[in-house]
Amino acid sequence: MARSKLAEDLTIEELRQLLVEKRRAQRQARLDSFRKTGRVVLVEPPPQVVALSQMSSEAVNENEEEFPTIRRRSVNQGRVWLDRLLALVEVGAVIGLIFLLLNGVNILRNLNREVASALVQPTLTSTPIIMAVVLPSGHTPPNSPGGVQPNEAEIPEHLRPLVQTLANLPIPTQGPQQAQRIQVPTIRVDAPVVQGDGWEQLKKGVGQHPGTPNPGDKGNIILSAHNDVFGEIFRNLDQLQEGDQVILFNSQRTYTYIVQRTQIVEPTQVEVMSPSQEATLTLISCYPYMVDKQRIVVTALLQDESE
């Protein structure tokens, strides 16, 4: 006869079996008690019930073994898909960020270009010289039969409408950078400079041809005046010698030009008014005195300030 084990020596399975048997014995005792008192009738349990119970128990045990694996597989698959989805979201976010950065750079570049173009000031250039048909200051001498008046005979007949059109152009307002006074010490000239060299302007002083540069600037400043009427300002222009000074004033400073040469030309030799690459001054008047059939032209260059 096997020696009974102590409770601490039994395994969990054995303890559970003892507990089941004890409960079965208690249940059987109650059934016997109920049967003796006539409250219950003993009925043999059908074999298939036991079989079904056993089968159910076995199925449950099998399911308990299989379900964790299936559950783990489904959880793992869900995590894999979730990781893939999160990776796609991250890649899309990075691509979107790169697109925004590139678009922002393009917008900033275009904005800088627009601002730069708005801030750049256009290069200021002198107004082109209105090409004259004849040299300015032409007039009839005071002793002529008709007296002093513009000498239209100098102008080719087919060009007279053009000359009239040029004469009707508005004269620009004199600015602070433009010549306002001229002095030629050698021939004692000290006269105001006005804008325009038409008939009316030359009554007021020395006229500057429209569009010619300001004193000190590169280019050819054209100044003209009469020699035998309206003050005879350029009466002695033919007495100037190479090296003589011509001084121009504006509202801010003075500029000294040095005479280079003197020439006598026909009224139609307007090439003496052509622009120059140097800071040049050209003085024009009628010639000879009281005849006025030609022009005297004096050319001077701006004095180097280092001299």
Q: What is the pLDDT of residues 42-60, one digit of tens each?
A: 555 555 444 444 554 554 4
Model confidence at 67: pLDDT above 70: no
CA atoms within 13 A on the CB side of 112: 6
CA atoms within 13 A on the CB side of 65: 5
Residue 83's alpha-carbon distances to 72, 79, 93, 178, 218, in angstroms, are 16, 6, 15, 80, 76
CB proximity list for 131: less than 8 A, separation 6 or greater: 270
Q: Which residue has the tokens 């000074």?
A: 245
Instruction: Provide mean pLDDT across the span 61-88.
Output: 70
pLDDT of residue 51: 45
- Residue-wise DSSP of 149-199: -B-GGGS-GGGHHHHHHHHTSPPPPPPTTS--EEEEGGGTEEEEEEE--ST
pLDDT of residue 136: 92
pLDDT of residue 304: 82
- Residue-wise DSSP of 10-47: S-HHHHHHHHHHHHHHHHHHHHHHHHHTTS----PPPH
Residue 148's Cβ-count burial label (10 Å; 0-12, 13-18, 19+) is middle
pLDDT of residue 124: 46
pLDDT of residue 129: 46
Q: How far out from the chain centre does Cα 239 lie?
A: 57
Q: What is the pLDDT of residues 112-159, one digit of tens each?
A: 888 777 665 544 444 444 467 899 989 999 999 989 999 888 888 888
- 257 contacts 303 by C-beta, under 8 angstroms: yes
Residue 98 carries which DSSP code?
H
Average pLDDT, the chain: 83
Instruction: Provide mean pLDDT across the span 52-75.
Output: 55
Q: How far out from the chain centre does Cα 109 lie?
A: 9
